Chains A and B, each alone.
Chain A
Amino acid sequence: QVQLQQWGAGLLKPSETLSLTCAVHGGSFSDYYWTWVRQSPGKGLEWIGETNRGGSTNYNPSLKSRVTISVDTSKNEFSLKLASVTAADAAVYYCASRQYCSVGRCHFSSWGQGTLVTVSS
């Protein structure tokens, strides 16, 4: 069973870059897509994007211009950077894992504990 532990700065000023990292414990790092999701009261759950062991990425088109998701296979970690944050980016950010999709089996099986990000000058 994969376990995810995430960390990063929780208080940012407008225009700064959000940076979060998620460590993967257990399971095979090669068997999953590694994902970031955020949740705010106004917008519910929003998928940010994902990467895999090879560094292939998929991003939400609504955030693509500001998002970078990267992977460090030597540490079994993956990271999120979101540039030029505004108050609209305030949310709880989660890392999550999903196995490669097969016959409808394509869900987020493990989640990190969440990081509350506040944006304030």
Chain B
Amino acid sequence: DIQMTQSPSSLSASVGDRVTITCRASQFVSNYLNWYQQKPGKAPDVLIYAASTLQSGVPSRFSGSGSGTNFTLTISSLQPEDFATYFCQQTYNIPPVTFGQGTRLEVK
């Protein structure tokens, strides 16, 4: 199985901050890397797919980069609605699909 490791596991930030979350794959995943946002009591929602493609309707302050084994999700200017948990996911090698353990973004 491909292991996905996110860092940090939690992060405290303020509205307006620039935030970066990283995701490392234990093996090559090309650009089959997706980012999801999850709010309490809700299912995850895709933000970024194919490492850097913004899902329709997602604000442009979200961006993704990387290829191979190292990836980043950046929020350029945090908004109040962005405080949530973020997950990366690889779909390069199925089965199984695997997820990172999540990064909880909290208000400082």
Contact = CB atoms under 8 A, between A and B. Distances in A.
B31 interface: yes
Contacts of B83: none
Interface residues of B, number: 30
Interface residues of A, number: 27
B99 interface: yes
Contacts of B91: 98, 101, 106-107
Interface in A12-66: 35, 44-47, 49-50, 58-62
A107 B34 contact: yes
Contact of A45 (B51, B95, B99): B99
- Binding site secondary structure of chain A: strand
Nearest to A45: B99
A47 B32 CA distance: 16
A111 to B, nearest CB: 4
Contacts, number: 73
A104 B96 contact: no
Contacts of A101: 32, 91, 94
B101 interface: yes
B95 A106 contact: no
B53 A105 contact: yes
Interface stretch (B10-18, B19-27, B42-50, B72-80): B42-50
Nearest to A112: B43
B30 interface: yes
Given A61-B95, A101-B91, A45 B44 contact: yes
Contacts of B100: 44
B43 A106 contact: no
Contacts of B102: 44-45
- Which 3 A-B pairs have CB atoms at the shortest separation, nearest pair first? A104-B50, A111-B43, A106-B91
13 contacts: A46-B99, A47-B95, A58-B95, A61-B1, A61-B95, A62-B96, A94-B43, A104-B49, A104-B50, A104-B53, A105-B53, A108-B34, A114-B42
